[in-house]
Structure 1
């Protein structure tokens, strides 16, 4: 029988069409309308117009699949099929009907669901499985008994929009269905193929029969070309390309890729679990921007991708290149910790296989290593944020950039204090941060749900005065975007200047601290800085015999030596620096609190 495709456009769901596929093989053909593919030489249409295995007399497997279109799992789907086995099913002779598969090769890595009959013993049962790659997981076992000796039966499987599976059968091959069992599973929600799979011994190469295959549901029409969802450098001369939907074998053609810097076409394209690995002849140079033309890559609907992408060749990080920049260690109930890093270097750095860890005081060792498993290239002066629950983080903090927030397992961040680390894949410390809840703005009584932010991002992570609470005006945290308390450094040619002559430490995210910049002619100078009120009383020492670089910044948060907020008024900062050669630099500037 010719298959029937009944198409009805559903109002407002412009990409979802109702479809029904029926094939009872009454036309004597399985190669056309619809086209079954796979081990086509191992099957025939017999005189009863049934699909029958007719394979060589060797112990092996054979399969056929039909393309269903992209099934719409947001609607109910029903499968029905007839099976007859002229054998006693066993572990050596059994069949699978693949309800769904994302791969036309039923022997390969695939994600999908299948019905199986065949086990040792005489009480074979209908079973529903999920397949993840090459591993299988039993979801449901049906009723005892009826399928152990030369079974002839019909199966109906229903799946609703919530992932509830229902398996029914008629052990006589008719349509008086009885309930076998059910399961709930939403793991795989992409499928374009359905088909039969037979495992046989040499004496059972023609004892499998199938008929009346029917699929009812919605299919998604795809008129958009595939897109590159991710691309990154994996080695000295290897790039991985990932697409946002399954593509045909066109993605394996070396002529469909062309790279600049005289690389041309790749030497080899290899299919990997997550995409396609391209091997080139020439090694890449760190921080170069590679430009790749991709053409003639087709998705399963025949849409063609022609595009040009840029890929940055990353460098490796040294100590101080990546710095802690923001930390939430006391989230709201049900919320998630997060940690943000700032690239203080001039290089592009891929965080793949770096570690976030903490300090175990009991043995004095860095412990609880959590590895970053994705490729995240962070550009100079940019940030990247990691959280254990992306949806929770973006829900709790409305000031965010989702493109720079990624999910991973993190060490435990205690609510009082701890020391945490960022390490290279070789476990070399890039940065460490010893935090405490006392680092929050002193007028905040309960810091729950409030992140700590760095004020000057490329300064030391262990400068207590360089951290403060995120501003209330931005929602108490800024994952993936510039810190609300961040100071943009502007060092002039003057040796010392006040960047914020008037400031108000009210934690509103605007000029909450006084920032001072210095530029020195000599290196290795030692500096002191003190704050005085208008009567000349010492309010606070903000620098004490600190070894200075030739340029830098320091801040005053508006508190006195007792860590209490100073009063409103005019203050004087006295800055002095001493060099080994006896050179002394001294400056006085006024500021208004």
Structure 2
């Protein structure tokens, strides 16, 4: 390994030589081949997410640094990576250095991108040792990474004219051209993280690539990839930055389906490597072809026509209210960061979770920005922190949500929202006595606002994310009249075997001796077992109730019960009196 990288990380790793490029998406689950990574491998791991595998940190519970490195093809070229963090803003004590290139022989030279610091930004440095004198090549604006969590796309370019450019999420944020240095062609690429005791597991990386630059650029840009953002939204990445004046126009693109682009969204600036295209109609599922017309790169090279095929998936059907229901809520776990909400698809349709928002009384945010189709009868577990949740439930495929609405232990409301429609909502109260354990739905068919339909989990693990609930007990029995009693000369009280939804019970459903009650009043609001019926007069007979449905929708066509009358004068008599007991 080069003296520079050894000084940089105070570690020794094996140096190797490579040419051309390297690409790492971690889908093979192996850090030892294609490419070969060296460093503190026990403090890194490849984790499974709904969107695929990615590299994640597993640092010690103490202030420390982490290192991973592999070969870099050249000091001149293009570097791409996706990076994410959680647990709070980045700082001088929680920061990342992406070593783009470190020389393997003298003169020692290092180029690295600093992500974070107290300025919460991106900075590009060159140095002969990372902990010695360093020179700032360029910096983005302060506080562009000020959120508590983020998932970002970074691209850095260094050409043979010694110009440096860096993009954050497709937006050019650094553009500098310092004096040229004599640079070695082969070197090392590295990831270095400095973390505090509480944040050793708060970082991840994915889709890392490094490509050697060509000495002169005489070719125009090509479309490199298409990401499906929604039924009418595409994100297109080019092989190199393109001029926004040519690439950010709707008439610069066409689709073989005939669905014309109506808008193209680009970050502010002269150049970008990514554009978002909105179409006039949802694109058909299957293979589609996108064509770009006369898009130019920063050198003025124009590609008259560039085409790319992409597979448009089935985005599922628009959800209707109660197609998706909240099935389990863990709002007071022993590890607060492992809060979760389980969603159940009770519909016969596939539903795209990227169109669903999860919220409470104060805020709401998308469940995910990735396309995730929920099959009928499937569960989806959405959490504040997937790492904390998998500590409790290993191998659980959970969706870590940005903008998680913190669930109050003192009670809260949880909602599923699609566009402007509330699909489902649950209001819960605190656990009695401060006990832990998730709140589980008993019957998915019963309403979410039906209190008897919710109970604390009886699972030994305290919850059942991604599984059938421990208290699952479908209600398939329709209601019956249990008994009917006279309460006054003109009223009776009808008691059913289970609570009924008050809004569905009408006076015409009851009949006593051929008469319908003038007034009906439930014993409790919303759901009630007993109903008071007011007639002109009450006589002996049988009360008949027709077309009575319970909270789960089970219908009783007809149920009957004799009326138990109030006693009349003389029907009850005093039969014996003990007025002077001897004991």
TM-score (norm 1): 0.43
TM-score (norm 2): 0.44
